[in-house]
Amino acid sequence: MRVSNLHTVELDGIDKIILEALMENSKTSISKIAKQVGVSSTAIHQRIKKLENANIIGDTVTLLNYKALGYKTTAYVGVFLEKSVYYKDAINDMLKIPEIIEAYFTTGNYTIFIKILCKDNDHLMSVLRNGIQEIKGIERTETIISLEQSISRQIKP
């Protein structure tokens, strides 16, 4: 890894192999990566520390299989706000709705764009009617329901 004077970072081949292994499985053992690359475990360990310090490696999380827990409906909702001033309050209200798992402030048609995870369509309707559309400043919403997720991945470093 090389850090230029303009805050950009150059990863070499070994860094990329490390990152790809950890992206796929955060529990990949250092020794396994070391064997694959052909250097010592210590070297890999030192590189990982550097990548962590450079803030390139972020969180390590366990993803739950929500379908197994009964969450089978994913939807996106475009939110039209009366005035952008309501943005902060709207986000605060949205934080209280656990089904909202992502929210973005956006350009274009919508002011706020959110991702929702629900058990089924009835649950989604209830979240929309009794949750989201009750939030102050929301004019109207447009809902996009996902029938199938076809791609889900990270970008390779």
Partner DNA sequence: CCTGAAATTGCTACGGT
Partner DNA sequence: ACCGTAGCAATTTCAGG
* Contacts with DNA, residue ranges (CB under 7 A): 1, 14, 29-32, 39-43, 45-50
- Shortest distance (Å) from residue 32 CB to DNA: 6
Cα 74 from chain centroid (whole Å): 14
Partner in contact with 57, chosen from DNA, its own copies, none, beta carbon below 5 to 8 Å by kind: its own copies
- Length, in residues, of the chain: 157
CB atoms within 10 A of CB 71: 16
For its own copies, the binding residue among 2, 8, 13, 38 (CB under 8 A) is 8
Determine the size of the site formed for its own copies (CB under 8 A).
65
CB atoms within 10 A of CB 79: 23
Q: Between 53 and 107, whose beta carbon lies closer to DNA?
A: 53
What amino acid is encoded at 141 in this protein? T
Binding status of residue 6 toward its own copies by CB under 8 A: no
CB 17 within 8 A of CB 36: yes
CB 124 within 8 A of CB 145: yes
Which residues in this chain contact its own copies in the complex, by CB under 8 A? 8-9, 19, 22-27, 54-66, 68-71, 74, 76, 78, 91, 94-95, 98-110, 112-114, 117, 142-157
